[in-house]
């Protein structure tokens, strides 16, 4: 049996400003760090074998904070661009809440949470799924099936893509799938099963993040 814990990075500098971040490599705020340390205390009873992060530093910093919170010194870690946030293209750096006021809630929700909603110069969630899930199946799943415990730190939308696969959620339902700050997912894998046999949600109470 292998355990997969999936954590979203803590609040970043651009989350705080309400800006679409995508592939922009900004760091955590003090709150993002402190929330992640508290999140780490929820997983201190799991003996992790290795960690995966995206190539963006907000996931590296979150992993460090999680390890501090769970009292672990360090873990062998793989940084993979396949786990990066959705590339928000021309929307990168724009203020989400101003755009929402300009285009209305329905179009805004379509852009943010739709399955195949194009953004000029960027990726759809479907594009994100096409890089995240093959990477997961190739690099991480065999280790879970072999009994390793893995800590994966990624982003709102790269995690939503992975949830679609792990929970077998239809495309039409994806607009309702969120990965909230302060929440981690614990999946159990058994040898021979490509999908998890159990899912638990671990949450810490945090003040809302502006994203």
Known binding-site positions for substrate: 8-15, 21-22, 58, 85-88, 96, 112-113, 156-157
22 versus 182: smaller Cβ distance to ligand 2PG: 22
Whether the Cβ atoms of residue 87 and residue 22 lie closer than 8 Å to each other: yes
- Tell me the three-class secondary structure of 29-77, residue by residue: CHHHHHHHHHHHHHCCCCCCCEEEECCCHHHHHHHHHHHHHHCCCCCCE
Is 85 an annotated catalytic residue?
yes
Q: By beta-carbon distance, which residue lies closest to ligand 2PG?
A: 21
- Alpha carbon of residue 32 to chain centroid: 14
Answer for which of 6, 15, 84, 174 binds ligand 2PG (CB under 6 A) is: 15
Is 173 an annotated catalytic residue?
no
Task: Supply the DSSP symbol for 19.
Answer: B
Residue span 39-78 as binding mask against ligand 2PG, x where in contact by CB under 6 A, dash where not = ----------------------------------------
Q: What tokens does 147 get?
A: 């009994």
| Backbone φ and ψ of 206, nearest 5° | -130, 155
Q: How far apart are CA 89 and CA 119, in angstroms?
A: 6
Binding residues with ligand 2PG: total (CB under 6 A) = 11
**Does 85 help bind ligand 2PG (rule: CB under 6 A)?**
yes
**Does 107 help bind ligand 2PG (rule: CB under 6 A)?**
no
**Does 22 help bind ligand 2PG (rule: CB under 6 A)?**
yes
Q: How far apart are CA 177 and CA 6, in angstroms?
A: 15
Positions that interact with ligand 2PG (CB under 6 A)? 15, 20-22, 85, 88, 96, 112, 156-157, 211
Give the catalytic positions in this structure: 9, 85
């Amino acid at each position: 049996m292998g355990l997969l814990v999936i954590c979203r990075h803590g609040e970043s500098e651009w989350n705080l400003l309400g800006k679409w971040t995508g592939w922009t490599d900004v760091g955590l705020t003090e709150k993002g760090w402190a929330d992640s340390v508290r999140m780490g205390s929820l997983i201190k009873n799991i003996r992790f074998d290795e960690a995966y992060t995206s190539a963006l530093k907000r996931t590296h910093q979150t992993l460090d904070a999680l390890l501090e919170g769970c009292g672990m010194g360090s873990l062998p870690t793989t940084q993979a661009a396949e786990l990066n946030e959705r590339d928000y293209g021309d929307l990168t750096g724009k203020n989400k809440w101003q755009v929402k006021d300009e285009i209305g809630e329905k179009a805004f929700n379509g852009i943010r949470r739709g399955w195949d909603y194009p953004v000029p110069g960027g990726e759809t969630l479907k594009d994100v799924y096409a890089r995240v899930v093959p990477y997961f199946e190739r690099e991480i799943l065999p280790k879970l099936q072999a009994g390793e415990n893995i800590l994966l730190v990624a982003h709102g939308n790269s995690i939503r893509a992975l949830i679609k696969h792990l929970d077998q959620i239809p495309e039409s339902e994806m607009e309702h799938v969120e990965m909230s700050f302060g929440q981690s997912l614990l999946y159990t894998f058994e040898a021979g099963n490509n999908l998890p046999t159990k899912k638990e949600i671990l949450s810490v109470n945090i003040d809302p993040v502006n994203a």
